[in-house]
Every structure is written in C-alpha cells, then in structure tokens.
Amino acid sequence: MRRGPVRSGPRPSASKQSARRAPPPTLAHPMHVRLIKSFTFEAAHWLPTFPEGHKCRRMHGHSFRVDVVVAGPLDPDKGYLLDYGDIKAFTGPLEKQLDHYCLNEIPGLENPTSEMIAKWIWDRLKPQLPALAQVVVHETCTSRCEYVG
C-alpha cells in the first residue's frame, strides 16, 4: 500500500502539472562534446611495402574495430550534437565494403596499412559528416592508428 500525504480535492490538470515542472537547464557556457560510434569488420590483407620475409608481407587477417569520432558544440535546444543513428547511416555502407573482403583488392587500399585504412575511411566520411574529428583503426587489441585528417 502506498503511503504519503492524503490529498483532498481534485488532482491538478496535466497542463498545471507541466507548468510546475522546471524548464530544461540552460547552459551557462557552450558545451563542446565528442561522440564515438564504433563498427567492426573482418578482413584479410597483406602489406606489399613491408620487407621480404616480414610476417605482414604474407596474407593474413584481422578483426578490425573502427572508432568514428565527431566533435562540436552541443545544440542547447536539443541537448545533443548528433544522433548516433545518423553516424551509423554514414558508416554502414563503408562497413559493408570492408567486411569479409581482401582489403588489397579495394580501390584506394592497395597498401592497406592501418594508417591508409584510417585515411580511406576519413576521405569517404568527411564530406558527409562535417563534424568528423578523428578516425581510429584498431588492427589488434593492442595496436591502433589515430587519424585526424
């Protein structure tokens, strides 16, 4: 059973209840935020510029993770910078282009180092996503490239 003060009389209308609520907080200073949306892909590659005999010169694969970082001022009326779903709409087609392919066979990735993959992704996202601030390509759980254009 619920306990609390007993009210007498009619309950306030919805419009009166909303009038009592405090307005959304206003920001005294502009907020600058960074959002990170990640995607993964599995791919094979070999690195043609590595020396003969180097293990990366042979065909091998990775479970790549890519972090797409957008940055900018928070819209005070909305309370957010961008919808994560909007970021996903731009990264989804790239994920499909990369996932379960040999990266060397993709135009522009003939030398698919982490650095070149990061730049390839940046070049395709930046025109559609002006707030793009960084692309991070994780080749392994301990090795990554951070590209800022």
36 in a structural domain: yes
H runs (alpha helix) in the chain? 14-20, 84-98, 114-125
Burial 1-19 (b: 16+ CB within 10 A, else e): eeeeeeeeeeeeeeeeeee
CA distance 79 to 23: 13
Choosing from 60, 100, 110, 115, which is the catalytic residue? Answer: 100
**Range(s) of the domain holding residue 60:** 32-147
Residue 102's Cβ-count burial label (10 Å; 0-12, 13-18, 19+) is middle
- Report how many domains make up the chain: 1
Short-list 115, 80, 82, 117, CA closest to 97: 117
143 in a structural domain: yes
26 in a structural domain: no
Q: Can you give the CATH number for the domain in which 71 is found?
A: 3.30.479.10
2 in a structural domain: no
Choosing from 95, 102, 139, 145, which is the catalytic residue? Answer: 139
23 in a structural domain: no
141 belongs to the catalytic site: no
Name the one residue in this structure whose structure tokens are 């990170």: 36
User: H/E element holding 3?
Assistant: none
42 belongs to the catalytic site: no
pLDDT on residue 80: 94
pTM of the model: 0.80
Whether residue 64 contacts residue 120, with contact meaning beta carbons closer than 8 Å, is answered with no
95 belongs to the catalytic site: no
4 in a structural domain: no
121 in a structural domain: yes
Beta pairing partners, 145: 137
6 in a structural domain: no
**pLDDT tens string for the chain (149 positions)?**
444 454 555 555 555 555 566 555 666 668 999 999 999 999 999 999 999 999 999 999 999 999 999 999 999 999 999 999 999 999 999 999 999 999 999 999 999 999 999 999 999 999 999 999 999 999 999 999 999 99
